[in-house]
Structure 1
Amino acid sequence: MKSFKRGLGFVTTTLLSVSMLFGCAGGKDTPDDAGSGGTDSGGKTVINVTFRDDGIGENGSFYKWLKEMSAAFPDKSVEIRPAPIQASEGDYFAKVALALKSKDTAPDIVTEDTFILNSDASAGYLEPLDERLAQWEDWGNGSFIEAMKKGVTASDGKVYGVPYNTDSRGLWYNKDIFKQVGLPEEWQPKTWEDVLNAARTIKEKAPDIVPIWMNMGKATGEATSMQTYEMLLYGTGERLYDG
């Protein structure tokens, strides 16, 4: 069996970038109640930022961050306004895709996963940020690792987003169960066969315990396709089935 490919941890495969901020080519002169920003009745420029709200609302950290950023914005004639969409992850992607089709509904800035970047950039929905980023000290001083920069670069070689977080995938195990079946509590597998052997041991000695679990099926969406199967492909470089 092939050895684990190492990421942030001993069995962690790093997902380069998950949630991104993308500059959107939405119109700036549409009414304030439309999707994209504009100028309100007081003459203030409004920049709408669309993101997925998983039900937390104004208590969400991203919502609070946007409000704090708006309050601290040096130009007081500009307001950064949260425009959350409460939806499941899959529904959020669908709603954003529909919103981007018209300048009347497109947000000024939208949060997306990097795997959508190429299609939206190719469709002309996104505005390249290279000129702006060239003037931003943090972009060139090492604050963003090259892998994250690559994640927001489309196939045309232009940068369309700024990452604000990233995450990783890991293999977790229960030390109590390992101790119960005689497996080492400090377990550091070096091959996939080590993982399978541990699962076989648990199945044999503790048949009521599920030995290994992964997201499966359509209901979990990206958690199945990307966070499970794609991670297994990264970790093995092989087919995920035995012909």
Structure 2
Amino acid sequence: MFVRSKWIVVCLIVLMMILSIGIVMNAAKKITVRVWYPDESGIKAKYMDQAAEVFKKDFPNVNLEITRFRVPPGDFKTKLLLALASGEGPDVIHFSGGSNIAEFADAGYIVPLDKYVNAWPDWSQYPNAVKSGVTYEGHVYAIPYGLDMRWLYYNKNIFKAVGLPVPWQPKTWNDIINAAIVIKERAPDKIPYVLYAGVAGSGGTLSQGFLPLFYGAGGKLYDSKTGKWIVDSPAYRKTLEYYRQAFLEYKLVPQEVMTLPKPWTTMRKKLFTGELGILYEGGWVYGGAMSMYGPEKTEKAVGYILMPSEDGKFFFTIGGSGTVWYVSAQSKHPELAWEYVKRFNCKDIVAKLNLEAPHPVARMDSANIPEFRAMKYMVDCTNSLKYARFLPIKPELNQVAYRIQLLTSRVASGEMTVEKAMKKYISEIKADLGAENVEVIQ
């Protein structure tokens, strides 16, 4: 009897050991989903946590690891690319969209999201213009939450002082030039107008300088039907002639715009402190001013309007996908990665984050919550996206942007005539991209 009891005890101990090993093995096999994002200010952390809380309730057996990188975007991208190149990338990536979408997709670092968004009812809340900003080669690769757009800003106090109308709505390019001429003549201590040009303007030269004119002249940078970059067209010539007039003929834009380090920092401040009359800049600039000076003071100081086309036939803004969400191609659990992306991009989080860090919302229903509707500027920004024109999502865009920086500088500085600058630009682009990949429109 004693031997039998002892045998039973031994069996129970062995069984408990087996069960314990199984539990340990299951714990070791617990699924982990990793999320990476850069955020120097820390403004996104609480929203990441809110999405994580919902995710963990729905998937209690999944280990969710969210890593915030307190570094500038460029440094984060370096870390991210190194991790992806070594096969150690995260499951979910939160980073800038635009040309990165094409770069990451071509490298095989991210997966198309078509099957996910097609089964997601909320995708209907995203306007077609917004969807196009995250679509590459016919596939959706990213989910935006807060978008970029731009306004033509004007300082109301300067306009009133020189006798220009407030509110102001120029109907053509000539109206902008003429208003700047009035400021120059009647308020010589003010900067009439700033138009970004050259390498110093960085991305602003393309998005806040060249493209608002180029698109307004009917230009296209890339022909999706032929798969070629357009390197010469009437729109190029009209845009460069405008640069020549603004910088050289009428001397409305100071040459220092092309030599100052980070000229946008200086010029944005001058706009809101009453030293600059007209500036085409990002919507986030006004949002930042509201945070710094308060909504009432900002509204009294600066007005914002859509950019007119050359002939006044349409008004528009330059849109951008902003910071977006990707699902990594290296994820072993892409469905779970998508589930986190989906929970972050819900109506309330999208609205509240974009109120705290002012940007137009990507999904239209987020603009309908009371707090959002109470801020006229945010509603105006979101409504402007109906008229948005986006940059082409192509990996070569950065090369083209650099050549456009040089092109605008050569004309604006007087180094070259429009004709000579165009010849050099065409030659450089052909060398960069291959003559077979470019075309000319007469």
Query: TM-score if structure 2 supplies the norm length?
Result: 0.41
1:113-136 Cα offsets, whole Å, 9 max, x none, are 132212211111111222222221
Q: Equivalences for 1:72-221 in 2 at 5 Å?
A: 72-73=54-55, 74-104=58-88, 106-110=89-93, 111-139=95-123, 142-155=124-137, 157-218=138-199, 221=202
More displaced stretch, 68-77 vs 223-232 = 223-232
2:224 corresponds to which residue?
Answer: none
Letter in 2 for 1:56: S
1:37 corresponds to which residue?
Answer: none
Q: Percent identity?
A: 38
Determine if contact 1:43/1:77 at 8 Å carries over to the other structure.
Answer: no
Q: Secondary structure at the match of 2:191?
A: coil
2:18 corresponds to which residue?
Answer: none
Q: Equivalences for 1:16-35 in 2 at 5 Å?
A: none
1:56 corresponds to which residue?
Answer: 41
RMSD (Å), alpha carbons? 2.4
Tell me, in whole angstroms, the C-alpha distance in 1 between the residues paired with 2:53 and 2:158.
Answer: 50
Tell me, in whole angstroms, the C-alpha distance in 2 between the residues paired with 1:216 and 1:92.
Answer: 27
Structure 1 residues 227 and 48: alpha-carbon distance in aligned structure 2, compared to 1, 3 A threshold: farther
Q: Secondary structure at the match of 1:98?
A: helix
Tell me, in whole angstroms, the C-alpha distance in 2 between the residues paired with 1:131 and 1:149.
Answer: 14
Q: Secondary structure at the match of 2:87?
A: coil
Structure 1 residues 68 and 172: alpha-carbon distance in aligned structure 2, compared to 1, 3 A threshold: same
Structure 1 residues 221 and 42: alpha-carbon distance in aligned structure 2, compared to 1, 3 A threshold: farther
1:24 corresponds to which residue?
Answer: none
1:98-122 Cα offsets, whole Å, 9 max, x none, are 3322221x12111231322122111
Q: Secondary structure at the match of 1:198?
A: helix
Q: Which entry has the higher C-alpha Rg, 1 or 2? A: 2
Q: Secondary structure at the match of 1:126?
A: coil
2:368 corresponds to which residue?
Answer: none
1:224 corresponds to which residue?
Answer: 205
Q: Secondary structure at the match of 1:199?
A: helix
Tell me, in whole angstroms, the C-alpha distance in 1 between the residues paired with 2:74 and 2:210.
Answer: 17
Tell me, in whole angstroms, the C-alpha distance in 1 between the residues paired with 2:175 and 2:187.
Answer: 18
1:71 corresponds to which residue?
Answer: 53
Post-superposition, which runs of at least 4 consecutive aligned residues in structure 1 deviate over 6 A? Answer: none
1:61-111 Cα offsets, whole Å, 9 max, x none, are x2211111111111122344332333334444444333322221x121112
Instruction: Looking at secondary structure, tell me which structure has more helix per residue.
Output: 2
1:241 corresponds to which residue?
Answer: 240
1:45 corresponds to which residue?
Answer: 31
Tell me, in whole angstroms, the C-alpha distance in 1 between the residues paired with 2:116 and 2:28.
Answer: 28
Q: Secondary structure at the match of 2:108?
A: coil
Determine if contact 2:102/2:136 at 8 Å carries over to the other structure.
Answer: yes
Query: TM-score if structure 1 supplies the norm length?
Result: 0.71
Tell me, in whole angstroms, the C-alpha distance in 1 between the residues paired with 2:205 and 2:74.
Answer: 12
Letter in 2 for 1:84: R
More displaced stretch, 229-238 vs 123-132 = 229-238
What displacement does 1:44 show? 4.8
Letter in 2 for 1:52: P
Tell me, in whole angstroms, the C-alpha distance in 1 between the residues paired with 2:81 and 2:131.
Answer: 23
Structure 1 residues 219 and 231: alpha-carbon distance in aligned structure 2, compared to 1, 3 A threshold: same
